Amino acid sequence: MFDTLQDRLAATFKGLRGKGRLTDADIDATARQIRIALLEADVNLGVVKEFVAAVKQRCRGEELSKALNPTQQIVKIVNEELVGILGGDTRTVRFAKNPPTVIMLAGLQGAGKTTLAGKLARWFKDEGHSPMLAACDLQRPNAVTQLQVVGERAGVKVFAPQPGNGVGDPVAVARESVEEARRKLYDVVIIDTAGRLGVDAELMQQAADIKAATSPAETLFVVDAMIGQDAVNTAVAFQEGVGFDGVVLTKLDGDARGGAALSIARVVGRPIMFASSGEGLKDFDVFHPDRMASRILDMGDMLTLIEQAEKAFDKEQSQAAAEKLLAGKGQFGLDDFLGLMRQMRQMGPMSKIMGMLPGVGQMKNQISDIDEREVDRIEAIILSMTPAERADVGILNGSRRSRIAKGSGVEVRDVNNLVNRFVDARKMMTQMSQGMGGGMVGSMAKHGAKQQRKKQQKRRKGASGNPAKRAAQEKAGTSRKPAETGNPFGTPAAGLPTSQEDLSKAMADFRMPPGMEQMFNQKNKGPR
């Protein structure tokens, strides 16, 4: 959604590289390009004027003149202002003091409220809560049935006493759903309300009546991020007619220009709390303004990537694979690669994962060429090999490759292509792990190896209770030091940045190494 804006901003900053000092003319030209980029992204005009004015004011102040690298400082200023217009700090759900916590969803028809209700319920369930969905959209045809299907997929209870399709009182259903949650001990109630094709008095009154009857802890306005400035106008109308506490953006995976996301929080004065980017129940997460700004500026979203990886990856299996990568000498085999690939699939589509890495703006075409079905073909080829062949691809002669191709239903050239790309990717991953401190994978291996060495070393004496002896021990280095701690990804023990600001600084000049896309890019197919 933000590709156009990302490209324009990247081109703007690229023209500033190499300049040790920026003149007023440089600042004016940069501000003009940023203004054009935001307007082309369909950002609200008032927000654009405010944003550009703030950037120019800060660039002309002491903040830029004292910077060692003025160009990087401008990127930092733009990043901080983007975070500001996106809402500032991450806003979390406020829970009621006495359960259940009632969350009311409001918005126009077609914004995706019913699907979002299921995603939100699934998210609460994963967070350890016991949510219940309330079917209060009794006007749209089959809305109740759709919510029941979504609720079944999410594995949550759906309260639907009325059949809908124009039958039933939505206010009464909402009131009864809260009472039902108290009786059955559900701690969260998510109310799915009716929408309209446009804002009208009946819609506003019904939403206001449901809100008055249930006193929700959070009223969330659900908006389609693809409808542009009309999303802002609708949000303003709902804020004046009903009032809401936060915004949920849906369809962020669309190809619209994304101006609504950059405008709505500043215009209505309410934070964006959640974002939905697909049809799957897991395509949903808390909205982090700082991470979104970082992605727009092509600095990646490593914190989200690490969080998702921590949920999907098995610690022991990942650490063993990382140690083999660092050891080199071909110890990392196809079995290890298949295990990691299966865990990566749990994080989502490969293109989405790659999109969170810093510097991917220069690789949009390669990422768009990634064929998700290629992962299935790779798995079929690997599973058609014997354990010895997976451990050492060097023994794959012509007859073996022919047998593997027949067993997996592919051509011999596909087997050759996989082997060639695997060898190249293994070499590149090994170099990255060794040359860049290991990143996430290398941190796991280093941390594991360090703990192993500690076990093998002779146990040192404990620190003495006598101050004089303890000082002598510390000077001689014989006292036992506390063991280092860290999670599977080596943070913070391995020295990785723990905040988005640190990541932004560390990744400002990072660019993707060549060949990263080779493993899944269809354009590289063919024997060598």
* 422 has pLDDT over 90: no
pLDDT of residue 150: 92
- Name the one residue in this structure whose structure tokens are 């590149």: 428
* 161 has pLDDT over 70: yes
Tokens read off for 284: 């949903």
DSSP 238-260: HHHHT--SEEEEE-TTSSS--HH
* 406 has pLDDT over 80: yes
- Confirm or deny that 485 is annotated as ligand binding: no
Assign 348 a pLDDT band (cuts: 50, 70, 90): low
Residue type, 100: P
- Confirm or deny that 250 is annotated as ligand binding: yes
- Confirm or deny that 342 is annotated as ligand binding: no
User: CA 400, 406, 410: angle at the middle one, nearest 5?
Assistant: 110
Q: What is the mean pLDDT of residues 427-433?
A: 71
Q: What is the mean pLDDT of residues 113-119?
A: 91
Q: Which of 219-228, 280-289, 379-388 has the highest mean pLDDT?
A: 379-388
Per residue in 82-105, pLDDT tens?
Answer: 888 888 888 888 998 888 999 999
Assign 37 a pLDDT band (cuts: 50, 70, 90): confident
The ranges assigned to domains in the chain are 3-85, 101-297, 305-444+491-524
* 198 has pLDDT over 60: yes
- Confirm or deny that 283 is annotated as ligand binding: no
Lowest mean pLDDT among 41-45, 222-226, 504-508: 504-508
Are 16 and 30 in contact by the 8 Å Cβ rule? The answer is yes
pLDDT of residue 240: 84
CATH entry, 305-444+491-524, from 3.30.70.20, 1.10.260.30, 1.10.1660.10, 3.40.640.10: 1.10.260.30
* 516 has pLDDT over 60: no
DSSP 387-408: HHHHH-GGG--HHHHHHHHHHH
- Confirm or deny that 28 is annotated as ligand binding: no
- Confirm or deny that 490 is annotated as ligand binding: no
Helices (H) and strands (E) in the chain, counts: 24, 8
pLDDT of residue 489: 36
Burial of 68: CB neighbours in 10 Å, binned 0-12, 13-18, 19+: exposed
Assign 131 a pLDDT band (cuts: 50, 70, 90): very high
- Confirm or deny that 243 is annotated as ligand binding: no
- Confirm or deny that 109 is annotated as ligand binding: yes
Distances (CA, A) of 275 to 6, 112, 119, 272: 19, 12, 10, 8
- Confirm or deny that 491 is annotated as ligand binding: no
Q: What is the mean pLDDT of residues 173-197?
A: 90
- Confirm or deny that 57 is annotated as ligand binding: no
For the chain, the C-alpha Rg in angstroms (whole number) is: 27
* 517 has pLDDT over 70: no
Instruction: Provide the percentage of residues in the chain whose pLDDT is more than 90.
Output: 19
Among 229, 222, 253, 227, smallest CA distance to 43 is for 229
Q: Domain 101-297, what fold?
A: Rossmann fold (3.40.50)
Per residue in 272-305, pLDDT tens?
Answer: 898 888 778 888 888 888 877 777 776 655 566 6
- Confirm or deny that 61 is annotated as ligand binding: no
- Confirm or deny that 192 is annotated as ligand binding: yes
pLDDT of residue 474: 56
Name the CATH architecture for the domain at 3-85.
Up-down Bundle (1.20)
102 three-state secondary structure: strand
- Confirm or deny that 114 is annotated as ligand binding: yes
